[in-house]
Each structure stands twice: as structure tokens, then as C-alpha cells.
Chain A
Amino acid sequence: MDLNLSPSELGFRDGLRQWLADNLSPHWQADFAKIEGKQAQFEYLRAWQRKVYDGGWAGIAWPKEFGGRGASIIEQVIFTEEMARAGAPNLPGVLGLQLVGPTTITHGTEAQKEQFLRKILSGEEIWCQGFSEPNAGSDLAALRTTATLDGDHFVVNGQKVWTSYGWAADWCELVVRTDPDAPKHKGLTVLLVDMKSPGVDVRPLRQMTGETEFNELFFTDVRVPVANVLGKVNDGWNVAIGTLMHERATLGAGIQIVIRRSFERIVELAKSIGKFTDPITRQKLAQCYADIEVMRLNQMRAYSRMANGGTPGPEGSIQKIFWSELNQRFQQIAQEIMGPYGQLTKGSEYSIDDGIWTYNYLRARGNTIEAGTSEIQRLILGHFVLGLPKSY
């Protein structure tokens, strides 16, 4: 074990620091807070992603020929750390960057890589993940959206649900059933679907936060060129699982930035309202700090393992359980520190940070459901990592 950065890793880090100093507006958060509406906020973040891309900092570990930097996963870790340190905005094309891109690098044809990867990095094209259906959530392989071959196209019919960023997406990584007669894991195929295709209907779905961040997608006779099959026909389970492994292993990296930034804000707040001298508050904050550190270290180790062995495996569920449950604990602690002020929502002159904390509290509730529930993650660890008998 050697946690010292090599000279070239140091050079990478210093270069990035310099770039951030030159390009990240110190008052971006205040600017961002003034933007009304999720679409406009999304565009702000998209412009930031474009800047990161133009600066050569997108897709650190992606191949150079597709717009990446061709560096290692260690540089990717450094990148995440530095973005957190600088309090930089999130990259909004997160599903493309962390899920669809890596899956395409593994399974895509040269033409698909050529067509999609750069635009994922630049934020020019936003992706969503069309996996879950009304009757296929935890049991994803039970999905019923069908695709039948008609000449050089698949014709898609069915419904997806809980599709995050469906409203913003240009493309969808869609899992469909292509062989209804095969056992349920064997007849699936992944299609890359243009969301502007005729027959795609995106409907808003309101979350408990009050927002419509996710959507329902309806597909009626949607024609998708055969060239847009990702991986092999009827091998879609394998491809989709690859995406899910990335989701579990790496989504936490982005969340980590957000949690650490929020944590610093809560510490500052606790100090400013005189609560930091309270021993109970100090204990809670210190415990939270320790948890966040452990999450970071867990992630560093997982990334190092990936740097040696390639794609993430089922042990990624450790990251998923850790970040999702940590965020819920953290939001609760934040509430406890704010006391009755914590419940106030946007638009009250008395609310703290214009009510973002009530939103964060509610939003965190979804963390142990999205990207596979905590129950399913525990079953994966029990069965696929620990080798215990399958329980269902």
C-alpha cells in the first residue's frame, strides 16, 4: 500500500487544481441558487460539464480516441477528490458518464463508440436508464417491454417507470424482451433508443419531494435500428448487469462530493448558531465525519481494485449500501442541528439555505430504493459475494 501520488499523478492533480482556480467561479452556488426551474438549472450544469470537457477533464479513464483522457482510474479518483475539494458543481450527464458510457466502452461497436461517447462527455447528449417497469423492479428480469424484429429495425412496445432524467434525456439505455420463449434472463436485449423517435411518450411522475425528477416512459411501435443493439441480441441481461455494477460501484463517487460539501455547510452552520459547543452535536458531527471518511476510503480501495481488475463486481453493493444509508443518517443529523428551522421549505424568510435541507431530507429517502433497494443489495452480498445460499 502506498498512498503517495506518483510524480505524474501529482502533475495531474496540480494541473486540475490550476484549471479549477481559473475556471470555477467562486460564487457559482449563489448564481445557481438564483436560477428558477429545473430545466434552467439543468442547462447551467450542462454548460459546466461542457467547460470541463473543453478543458480536457471529462472521461479521465476513457480512451483518448473517444474524447477521454486515457488516464487511469487513480486519476479518476483524484479528479473526484479535487472536484469535491473545490466545491465544484455536479456533472449533470451523470447517467451517461457513469453508466451508459462505461457499458458502451465494454460492449459497444466501434460505430456506437464513435457516435455516442464524445457527446456523453461534453454533455451534448443526456442519457436515461430505462430498466424498471411497473411489474419489474427488484425482479428486473421479469420485464415485459417487447421488441420484435422487422427488417433492420426492432419495434418496441411497453412501459418503463421511475426513469430519472427522462424529461432531459436525448437517449435511453433500454432493456427489452426480444425472446418471449426463453427463460427470463435469456431473452433480453439492450437497445440504445433515440428519445425523439416517434412513439416515445415521456410523462411526468411526481416524487414525494413534490418534484417531477423521474418519469414514466411509454413506447408504442417505436422503431430502433438494429445497429443500436448494445452487445448481443438476447444477451441483454449480461449488458444490463454491467450497467448496474457500474451504478452501484461509482454513483457514490458523485454523491460523495455532494455529501461532503453539505457536511461542511452544516458544520459551519452549527458553529454560527452556537451549537458547535454542544457535546451532543459535536458527537453527532464527528461520527458523521468519520462515516464520510470511511465512505471515501472504501471508494478509494474499490477504485484501486478496479484499476487492477477492470470492471466492478458484486462487491460494489458495499458502496451502494454505505453511501445511501450514510446520506440518510447525515440528513437526519442536519435536521437535528437545525431544530424546528429544519422543516421550513423554500420561500420562507426563516428557512435555512432557502429550504434546500427539507428537500435533501426527503430526497435522501429515495437513496435506499433507487439503483436497487438496500434489501436487494444485501441479498447480492449474501449470495454473490459471501456464497450463501440463494434466499428467494
Chain B
Amino acid sequence: MQFGLTDSQILTRNSAREFFSAEYPIAEVRRLCETETAHDIPLWRKTAEQGWCGMTIPEAYGGMGLDLVEVAAAMEEAGRTLVPGPLLAHLTATAAITACASEEHKQQLLPALATGDRIATLAVLEPNPSWDLAAVAVPACEGTKLFVMDAAVTDYIVTLTRDGVFLVDSRGDGVTLTPMPALDTSRKLSAVNYRNAPGLQLATDNSAVQRALDIGTTLLCAEMTGAMQRMLDITVSYVKTRKQFGKPVGAFQLVQALCADMLVATESARSATYFAAYALEQNLPEAQSAVSVAKSYIADAARLTGNNAIQAHGGMGFTWENDIHLYYRRAKAFETAFGDAVFHRERIAQLAL
């Protein structure tokens, strides 16, 4: 047994780290957050050229076909630099198409998604929001979907309806997008209104999409793990240099406790995420509960990490200028995305107990 990344997984992680930290410096992320879409087309093209947009798509359809542990390791790096825009939404939506569409539809759709020439997102939630697929209530394709990630920059919205899964043209007839401004400005949310919108039916029921939700959840956890690591790193370097009472504040035991608890949270988040990715990749029977373990644990762990990071910075941590709040905002959005801790704990109770 060996619970750690293999050499090839490490290689993927390292090239992800190199790429994301070079192309998404925090100044660029801040600039994008202030735009309407948090999406930059040349940057997306670059990201796509490296294959990152097709990470989860099998090689047969033009993707990289990485195993999910590798994808998680790469997304951890994306989270560390707070990559804004539709990457996560796109990976989740393409996983949905991969999981539920017919061979013909996959051949037709996935290659352009793998190269990033087309961008997709997934619409699940409705005005009475639930991540339980059985709760999907809108008919095809009529009604309202909410909190749809980055819909405004996509070509397709993979839409869950009570009549099955539909691929809807984001800019097509009968589709209206309304921005939903939110705390995390690195990923823009939209309300999507469908008025007799035409759609390509990918599946007659939604059950196959569950796997894509589990993959999306795991990648979100991976991103958050990277974000937590970054908050920890920023904080540790700050408390080593910031002096009060003639000493670095990191010399004070209460401050060390804040940092040590962040470390416990971050390492634990990483363990839970890697196992969820592995379990999904290997189709282990406990895969779904492993995903819920990661999501429910990290919801709290990320909040603790963000709180401690700001706390250890004192007044500086409460400023706009300090980067921590960008991560803090994402940690808040993380809590409810793909189901909150209560939802996932209930799923653990159902699946594992």
C-alpha cells in the first residue's frame, strides 16, 4: 500500500503548478474578478492548449484522459492560485456528458470541449435548491435554474430536467441569463431562464449524472485544498516577519496554535480529497460516501483555515489589499456548492452507516 502520489501523478501536479502559478498570478486573478465574467479568452486558450480543459475527457474523444487522482492534484494547484472562470464548471459538465451521453453524442460533442473551443457548464439547482437529483423538477426545457456557474461564458448548459438531461445552447432561443452577483467574484453565477428552449436530449433520466456531481465535488474539494494550503503559506510567512512586543508574532503560542490548526485542516483536506478521487477512479463501493466525507469535512476545515488566516494577520487580514479574503470568499462559496455539509452528512448516514 502506498497512499501518496505516483511519479506520473507528481509530474502532472508539478506541471500544473508551474503553469497555473505562471499564468494566473494573483494580480491577474484580481483583475479578472473585477470583470463581468472573470473569464479571459486568450488565457483560456493557453490553458486549453496545455490540455487542462480536457483533463477528464477520455483520450478517445481528444481529452487527456487523466486518472482522477491526477486531475485532483492538478486542480489543487488551480485552487492554490485561485484560477478564476469556468474551468471547474467545464470539467464538471464534460464529466456529465461523458457519464450520460450516447457514443454518437460523445463523438459529436467532446472533442471541441476537450480542446476548449467550446465551453460547457451544468445546471442543477432550482429556486428551492437541492443537490438531490430526485428533486429536479423543471420540465424540458422550461423554467428556472439558479446558481449556474459561469453560464455567461459558456456555449452549452447541460441542463437537468425531470425529463432527463438536455444540452442547451447558452445563447440560443428561449434562454435568458441573469447574473447573480455573489461573494466569490472569481466565479460568476447566473440564473438561467428557459422558455420553451430547444435542447439536445443526452439522457432520458438524470441518474448517470450522479457520477459527474461526485467528480465535480471532488475537484471542488481539490481546489479548496490548494486554497487552504495557500492561506496557510501566506499566513506562516506573515507571522514569521510581523513583529509585536519585540518578537515575530509567530513566536506566540496562541498564534502557533492558529497556524497548527490550519495545518491539521489542510493536510486532512488533502487526505480526504485524494481518497475520494481514488475511490471514484477505482469505482470502489464506498466512493460516494468518500466524496461526502471530503465535502463535509472540508466545508468546516476551509472555514477554520480562512478564519485563522485572517485572525493571525490582525488588522492587515481584514483589508482588501491582503489576498486572504479572496480565498475566504471562495471558501464560503465552497460550503454550499455541490451540497452543504448537512446534505453530505445525511448522504454519509444513508450510504455508510
A188–B235 CA distance with the chains assembled, in angstroms: 32
A77–B247 CA distance with the chains assembled, in angstroms: 41
Are B253 and A366 neighbours in the complex by a CB distance under 8 Å? Answer: no
A92–B6 CA distance with the chains assembled, in angstroms: 60
Are A347 and B181 neighbours in the complex by a CB distance under 8 Å? Answer: yes
Q: What residues on A are CB-neighbors of B350 within 8 Å?
A: none
Q: A137-B315, A208-B322 are in contact. Are A142 and B244 (CB under 8 A)?
A: yes
**Distance to closest chain B CB from A134 (angstroms):** 9
Q: Does B270 contact A (CB under 8 A)?
A: no
Are A339 and B252 neighbours in the complex by a CB distance under 8 Å? Answer: no
**Which among B183, B254, B311, B320 is the interface contact of A345 at CB below 8 angstroms?**
B183
A205–B321 CA distance with the chains assembled, in angstroms: 9
**Distance to closest chain A CB from B275 (angstroms):** 26
Q: Does A262 contact B (CB under 8 A)?
A: no
Q: What residues on A are CB-neighbors of B333 within 8 Å?
A: 343
A351–B146 CA distance with the chains assembled, in angstroms: 12
Q: Does B162 contact A (CB under 8 A)?
A: no
Q: Does B336 contact A (CB under 8 A)?
A: yes
Q: Does B211 contact A (CB under 8 A)?
A: no
**Distance to closest chain A CB from B9 (angstroms):** 33
**Distance to closest chain A CB from B303 (angstroms):** 7
Are A375 and B254 neighbours in the complex by a CB distance under 8 Å? Answer: yes
Q: A208-B325, A346-B181, A378-B254 are in contact. Are A161 and B191 (CB under 8 A)?
A: no
**Closest Cβ neighbor of A349 among chain B residues:** B178
A1–B305 CA distance with the chains assembled, in angstroms: 43
Q: What residues on B are CB-neighbors of A340 within 8 Å?
A: 125, 129, 146-147, 336-337
A328–B311 CA distance with the chains assembled, in angstroms: 12
Q: A208-B322, A350-B191, A374-B311 are in contact. Are A343 and B245 (CB under 8 A)?
A: no
**Closest Cβ neighbor of B244 among chain A residues:** A139
Q: Does A365 contact B (CB under 8 A)?
A: yes
Taking A340-B337, A344-B181 as given, write out 15 further A-B residue pairs in contact, using a Cβ cutoff of 8 Å, ordered by the A residue number: A137-B314, A206-B321, A208-B328, A336-B340, A343-B332, A348-B179, A348-B182, A358-B182, A362-B325, A362-B328, A369-B314, A369-B317, A370-B318, A375-B255, A375-B311
Residues of A bordering B, CB below 8 Å: 132, 135-139, 142, 161-162, 205-208, 210, 280, 328, 332, 335-336, 339-351, 355, 358, 361-362, 365-366, 368-370, 373-375, 378-379, 391-392
Residues of B bordering A, CB below 8 Å: 125, 129, 146-147, 178-184, 191, 243-247, 249, 252-255, 303, 307, 310-311, 314-315, 317-322, 324-325, 328-329, 332-333, 335-337, 340, 342
